[in-house]
Amino acid sequence: MRLVLVSRRRISRQRQFATPVVALLVALAIGGLIVWLMGRSPWRALQVFVIEPLTDPWALQEVLLKATPLMLISIGLLFCFRASRWNIGAEGQFLLGGICGGGIAILTHGMSGFWIMPLMMIAGMLGGLAYAAIPAVLRTRFGISEILTSLMLVYVADLLLDYLVRGPWRDPKGFNFPQSVSFSDAAVLHPLFEGGRLHLGLVLALVVAAIAFVLFRRTLFGYAVAASGDAPRAANFAGFNEARITVLVFLISGALAGLAGVVEVAGQVQQLRPGFGQGLGFTAIIVAFLGRLTPVGATLSSVVIAVLLIGAESAQVSLKLPYDLTRFFMGLLLTCVLVGESLDRYSLEIQRERT
């Protein structure tokens, strides 16, 4: 007896929508089993991980705050991944965005003016864009794998941030802690409504998602990106310039990761300090695939992953579950989604040994 994958002749549309949901349920079931084996109540874990973050108003705001950079970065990554250009270094572009935007905040410290925030955003986008241009140009000019270069540049960005906040940008009154001054009022994203925590970042992210949706659905540029990812020879036949697409998707992806960096430092952290990235640039890769590389999917899966991240924080406290369990769970979820995607295209059949 052996198992074989048989190609389905038709891929049903209902299936494509149902698959991520089923994958999520399967992942929850397996996760529950693990929690049960660890001697905790799976129902309690479900409550803490999933239900509370979605029902408690304070926690829900935290979820959306966490989802904001994930949306911005993952939607940028869609452009790369749709084109089969593998930008693994969004974390680095995210950090560079924060560094450049935060740099403006530090340089304008004590000043006020409506122009400071837009300037920070522009600087952050340019920073992420320039940083993403490096692997793009290395690939198009010298044929160097963008996977390696973009990944390695993450560590460079990490160390650059470390150097800045311990060196030139360290807060003189900060008791030698490795962190910058707290940003002035004009360099901070304020809550949209009284007593809340949500800021302009979420609005920006949703606008970006909407623009990406239209670009992919309706424009020649979106078509060219997808074509060059699906079938490079067909893109060549259509006359879409491969190098130009590589550079463009990296620039878009870098600029959006950079914008996310500004939103994170100006909204959440309100100063520069090491590790403000929290690995969100890497998490966004999972988000992009979980959302099946579509803008709507990425927006929704940003929220799903943010729920898990917030849930994990409270699970640490209330259930004494290790934080690593969340990372495990995200891996599990991604695996379930990828398996589900394969089963959309292939059916699993048991073949009897011949007699």
**Which one of residues 50, 223, 242, 316 is an interface residue with other proteins (CB under 8 A)?**
223
Long-range contacts of 133-138 (CB under 8 A, 24+ apart): 133/247, 133/250, 133/251, 133/254, 135/87, 135/89, 135/250, 136/85, 136/246, 136/247, 136/249, 136/250, 136/251, 137/247
Which listed residue (220, 296, 338, 348) binds other proteins by CB under 8 A? 220
Per CB under 8 A, the list member of 6, 107, 211, 338 interacting with other proteins is 6
Distance CA 260, CA 250 (A): 15
* 3-class DSSP state of 178: coil
Q: Which of 306, 343, 307 is nearest to 47 (CA)?
A: 307
CB 344, min distance to other proteins, A: 12
Contacts to other proteins from residues 291-350, by CB under 8 A: 347
- DSSP 3-state of 111: coil
- Count of CB atoms situated within 10 Å of the CB of 241: 14
Say which residue the tokens 């640039």 belong to.
Answer: 281
Spatial distance between the Cα atoms of 95 and 128, rounded to a whole number of angstroms = 8
Among 3, 9, 167, 175, binds other proteins (CB under 8 A): 9
* Minimum distance from residue 240 beta carbon to other proteins (Å): 9
- Residue 16 binding other proteins, by CB under 8 A: no
Give the C-alpha separation, 73 to 64, whole Å. 14
Nearest approach in angstroms of CB 56 to other proteins is 42
Please pick, from the candidates 44, 190, 218, 244, the single residue that binds other proteins as defined by CB under 8 A. Answer: 218
**Cβ 355 to other proteins, closest distance in Å?**
8
Q: Which residues contact 112 (CB under 8 A, 6 or more apart)?
A: 184, 185, 186
AA identity, residue 25: L
5 binds other proteins per the rule CB under 8 A = no
Report whether 220 contacts 76 (CB < 8 A).
no
Question: Nearer to other proteins by C-beta: 318 or 351?
Answer: 351
Q: Is there binding between residue 4 and other proteins (CB under 8 A)? A: no
Touching other proteins, residues 228-247 (CB under 8 A): 230-231, 233-234, 236-239
Q: How many residues bind other proteins (CB under 8 A)?
A: 22
Q: Which stretch binds other proteins (CB under 8 A): 62-70, 142-150, 227-235, 333-341?
A: 227-235
Which window, 5-13, 30-38, 150-158, 323-331, contacts other proteins (CB under 8 A)?
Answer: 5-13
**13 contacts other proteins (rule: CB under 8 A):** no
- Rule CB under 8 A: which residues touch other proteins? 6-10, 214, 218-220, 223, 226-227, 230-231, 233-234, 236-239, 347, 354
